[in-house]
């Protein structure tokens, strides 16, 4: 009896079937692996992108304030590392062509640096603006941590400036306020503003130096007050620079800056009245208030 031969066509199909399945991307030996999900997707990614940008803005504001008040104890290399890390993370989040899928490690490193810096500087006094800006930075980092951990967080307000007390100094204009007077300061009017801006720097510096006497023991509130006075002096110097750099100055360009100096001065004045430093600042500080009022009138 002869052994039957298998059908050659059927044998070819049986042998080639696995190869065809592999070529088509199908396998029946195991369940296909799931594609790993990104740390953040959709609106959560967009929220992290916005938070990272605001964090950089806050950290830069903190650094600028520390430098304006010459607070070298708090302006440390560790803070520079934190700011650099935050900037690089923001740049990654802004890269629409190649957005990052995994950000948990980046946020964790930013949080670690911030906590280390906070411990390092906890006993160091800083100006009110620096302290508020740093607290806002910590709040942003906390929101980023909660977001990457699966929580749902809101965006903080764009501006978080504490309110100033009402102006206790009534306005008595010493310059014409009619719109026809013109918006550009020039000639004798500009010279008057320049003279007052220079005098403001002199008087503010004297008030700061007289309030800060060598060898005097200071508490935390007094050290913060002195740092705020130093910040005010730097602002007065900036105003002098702005008014001395051209032959004509638009009132609107310096009006907002003078108003900010006036608000800072009112807040400082309220703090000085509860401190022995007021008696040492004395007539120089009173002259600062008077000069600011005249400058405000001149730019109206």
CATH of the domain spanning 179-211+220-298: 1.20.120
Name, in order, each residue with C-beta under 8 angstroms of 84's C-beta and a sequence gap of 6 or more. none
Query: Which pLDDT value is given to residue 278?
Result: 56
Confidence grade of residue 63 (pLDDT, cut at 50, 70, 90): confident
Taking domain 43-148, whether its CATH number is 1.10.1760 is answered by no
Full-model pTM: 0.46
Encode pLDDT of 184-237 as tens digits: 777 888 888 888 989 998 888 888 877 776 556 666 667 777 778 888 888 888
DSSP string across 209-242: HHHS-TT----HHHHHHHHHHHHHHHHHHHHHHH
pLDDT greater than 50 at residue 17: yes
Q: What residue spans of the chain are helical by DSSP H?
A: 8-23, 43-68, 77-93, 104-120, 128-148, 187-211, 220-243, 251-272, 277-298
Say if CB 242 and CB 249 are below 8 A apart.
Answer: yes
Greater pLDDT, 141 or 268: 141
Can you tell me which residue has the tokens 């010279």? 191
pLDDT greater than 50 at residue 119: yes
Encode pLDDT of 233-281 as tens digits: 888 888 888 888 667 777 777 888 888 888 888 888 877 777 766 566 6
Is 43-148's fold the same as 179-211+220-298's?
A: yes
Q: Indicate the domain borders of the chain.
A: 43-148, 179-211+220-298
- Residue range 275-292: mean pLDDT, rounded: 77
């Amino acid at each position: 009896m002869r052994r039957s031969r298998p059908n050659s066509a059927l044998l070819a199909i049986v042998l080639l079937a696995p190869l065809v399945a592999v070529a088509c991307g199908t396998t029946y030996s195991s369940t296909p692996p799931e594609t790993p999900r990104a740390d953040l997707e959709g609106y959560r990614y967009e929220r992290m992108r916005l938070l990272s940008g605001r964090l950089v803005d806050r950290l830069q504001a903190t650094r600028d304030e520390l430098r304006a008040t010459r607070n070298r104890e708090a302006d440390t290399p560790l803070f520079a590392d934190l700011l650099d890390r935050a900037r690089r993370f923001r740049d990654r989040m802004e890269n629409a062509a190649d957005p990052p899928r995994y950000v948990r490690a980046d946020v964790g490193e930013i949080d670690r640096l911030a906590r280390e810096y906070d411990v390092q500087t906890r006993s160091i006094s800083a100006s009110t603006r620096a302290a508020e800006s740093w607290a806002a930075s910590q709040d942003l980092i906390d929101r980023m941590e909660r977001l990457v951990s699966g929580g749902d967080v809101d965006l903080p307000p764009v501006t978080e400036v504490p309110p100033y007390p009402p102006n206790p100094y009534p306005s008595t204009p010493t310059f014409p306020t009619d719109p026809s007077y013109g918006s550009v300061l020039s000639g004798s009017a500009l010279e008057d503003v320049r003279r007052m801006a220079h005098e403001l720097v002199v008087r503010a510096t004297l008030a700061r130096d007289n309030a800060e006497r060598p060898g005097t023991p200071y508490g935390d509130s007094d050290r913060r007050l002195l740092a705020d006075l130093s910040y005010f002096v730097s602002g007065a110097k900036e105003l002098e620079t702005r008014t001395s750099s051209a032959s004509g100055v638009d009132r609107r360009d310096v009006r907002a800056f003078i108003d900010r100096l006036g608000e800072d001065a009112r807040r400082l004045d309220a703090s000085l009245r509860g401190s022995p430093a007021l008696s040492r600042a004395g007539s120089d500080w009173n002259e600062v208030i008077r000069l600011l009022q005249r400058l405000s009138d001149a730019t109206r």
